[in-house]
Amino acid sequence: MYWGVGFASSRSCVVDLSRNQSFSLGLCGSDDHYSFYGYIITFPLQDYCNIMSGLGAESWWKKTLCLTGGALLAAAAYLLHELLAIRKEQKLDSKDAIILHQFSRPECEVPSLSPFCLKMETYLRMADLPYQNYFDGKLSPQGKMPWIEYNHQKVSGTEFIIDFLQEKLGVNLNKHLDSRERAVSRAITKMMEEHFYWKIENEFWYLVQNSLGLLFAQNDMFDRVGS
């Protein structure tokens, strides 16, 4: 079986690079300011065997073709990475845009399955701040999600991001609140993010997973009884 090889990025960019035998590889390049994610994808070539058989078996040019194809594959992948890195650099040079890194959109109708990603994007929309979504899935240098880039500065953690934007852009959605309302807002925020959040995590990762495990165990038992 022979396969075609192509490169796919997270921005719906697919380029056919070369032909080789079965090959699959994740590609990632990064530096201080830019990061890029993509995948080497493979697909079967239906007529490849007929074409090769017409040219003869075990010919010297097959080795040359493989070496040339491999070199072209590496060169094309490198050039594509550099071009997209330059493109992202140009976007990041905009002083009016906030780059929001978050998880990809789910199949359901909600914008995000992550409460904190949903909170951060809602805040940016409520504050009417221009931003660009990057669904690359890469965590911040501190290992958090979501996080932002603004003028090549990286900030993670929703509370730290909000404080950062208030300092840099003078945005404060709570400026109209009095001291009592600010205290209530603070108490609700802490209750939801530091207490109720872990109840949701427990429901999903412990109770639901255990329920699925019991369901699969029952199915296995019924299969054994039926056999």
Give the C-alpha distances (Å, rounded to integers) separating 31 from 72, 74, 78, 89.
Answer: 24, 19, 14, 11
Element (H, E) at 194: none
* DSSP structure string for 110-172: SS-S-HHHHHHHHHHHHTT--EEEE---PPPTTS-SSEEEETTEEEESHHHHHHHHHHHH---
CA distance 74 to 40: 11
pLDDT at 82: 59
DSSP-H helix ranges across 178-208: 179-191, 197-202
106-139 burial, b at 16+ Cβ within 10 Å, e below that, comes to eeeeeebeeebbebbbebbeeeebebebbbbeee
For 67-119, the pLDDT digits (tens) are 677 677 777 776 775 566 555 544 545 566 899 999 988 888 888 888 889 99
The predicted structure's pLDDT at residue 53: 54
The pLDDT, as a whole number, for residue 214 is 54
> How high is the pLDDT of residue 178?
94
Nearest C-alpha neighbor of 17 from the set 78, 61, 102: 78
Coil, helix or strand at residue 21:
coil
190 phi/psi in degrees, rounded to 5:
-65, -40
Is residue 15 within 8 Å of 76, Cβ to Cβ? yes
pLDDT at position 50: 54
Q: What is residue 115's predicted lDDT score, i.e. its pLDDT?
A: 85
Q: In what order do the strands lie in the sheet with 14-20?
A: 14-20, 3-9, 35-44, 25-30
Q: Identify the CATH class of 98-169.
A: alpha beta
Neighbouring C-beta atoms of residue 165, cutoff 10 Å:
20
What is the per-residue pLDDT for 165? Answer: 94
- Residue 185 DSSP symbol: H
pLDDT of residue 121: 94
What residues does CATH 3.40.30.10 cover in the chain?
98-169
What local confidence, expressed as pLDDT, does residue 195 receive? 82
Classify the C-alpha dihedral 196-163-178-120 as positive or negative: negative
User: Count of CB atoms within 10 A of residue 9's CB?
Assistant: 17
Confirm whether pTM is higher than 0.75.
Answer: no
Query: What residues have CB less than 8 Å from 103, skipping those under 6 apart?
Result: 112, 113, 114, 117, 135, 137, 145
Q: Is the dihedral of CA 104, 107, 111, 115 positive or negative?
A: negative
Q: Which two tokens stand for residue 104?
A: 């990809």
Regions of the chain where pLDDT drops below 70: 1-67, 70, 78, 81-96, 207-227
